[in-house]
Amino acid sequence: MLTKGFLITFEGGEGGGKTTQIVRLRDKLTKLGKDVIVLREPGGTVISEQIREVVLSAKNAGIAYTTEVLLFQAARAQIYREIVLPSLKAGKVVLIDRSRDSSVVYQGIVRGFGKDLIEQLNDISTKETYPDLTLLLDVNVKDGLKRREESGSANRLDMEDTSFHDKVRKAYQQLAKDDKKKRWVVIDANKTIDEVDAAIWQVVEKKIN
Ligand code: TYD
């Protein structure tokens, strides 16, 4: 799909600091006079936030993996139609905390539904939209989980065991390595917030003018 805006997604395992960094990037871009929108998945619209509540609530431990796959996609289909695609068409910079690659990693690779099937669903949900840039905030699993614990905001997937989070990290690293569209940049998120912020800005500044 042809768009005029610029889509940046933030990806990575738990505790990589995506949420902090996305706000910092928004502020920098806004200072440059860009029209910026910040979103998160699952969520970002009234309907998608309701789906988020169902899919991430620790109360719903009994959710089937297939239901999980489809709920993440349902939330995605809604946010792309309601906000992402119209914003890109209007020339805005759209920053999303997780998008299609989270489904590839968590549901496709780690849960085992397969990358191809999930990408087909992603294409339906996003109307075949790929990010212009994907920043992988790569943090070692132990520190990531510790940060998450300290923030006190663990969701249903955070409660999976360490081997789950190890698989998530490796799957992301592999996707970035296999990247044929050259849209992935790996950021070392083990560093301080300011250092990560500077590393992100170095990448984004060159791409957005
Ligand atoms: P969130 O609280 O937003 O966590 P984080 O700060 O790590 O982004 O929770 C999002 C969770 O949902 C996270 O554990 C990853 C998972 N997820 C999927 O499994 N598939 C998806 O397609 C998306 C968007 C998220």
From first to last of its 209 residues, what are the pLDDT tens digits of the chain?
445 899 999 999 988 999 999 999 999 999 999 999 999 999 999 999 999 999 999 999 999 999 999 999 999 999 999 999 999 999 999 999 999 999 999 999 999 999 999 999 999 999 999 999 999 999 999 888 888 888 877 788 877 888 999 999 999 999 999 998 899 999 999 999 999 999 999 999 999 87
Among 21, 39, 106, the mutation site with the greatest number of ligand 1 atoms within 8 A of its Cβ is 106
Radius of gyration of the chain (CA): 16
- The answer, yes or no, to whether any atom of ligand 1 lies below 6 A from the CB of 169, is no
Beta-ladder partners of 86: none
Rounded to 10 degrees, what is the CA torsion of 165, 166, 171, 176?
100
- Per CATH, is 6-208 categorized as 3.40.50.300? yes
User: Which amino acid, one-letter code, is at 36?
Assistant: V
**Can you give the residue ranges of every domain in the chain?**
6-208
In angstroms, rounded to a whole number, what is the distance separating the alpha carbons of residues 93 and 54?
A: 29
pLDDT in the model for residue 78: 98
pLDDT in the model for residue 2: 45
Q: How far is the CA of 191 from the centre of ligand 1 (A)?
A: 22
In angstroms, rounded to a whole number, what is the distance separating the alpha carbons of residues 123 and 47?
A: 20
In angstroms, rounded to a whole number, what is the distance separating the alpha carbons of residues 87 and 5?
A: 7
pLDDT in the model for residue 151: 81
- The answer, yes or no, to whether any atom of ligand 1 lies below 6 A from the CB of 109, is no
- The 10 Å Cβ neighbour count of residue 172 is 26
Among 155, 159, 172, the mutation site with the greatest number of ligand 1 atoms within 8 A of its Cβ is 155
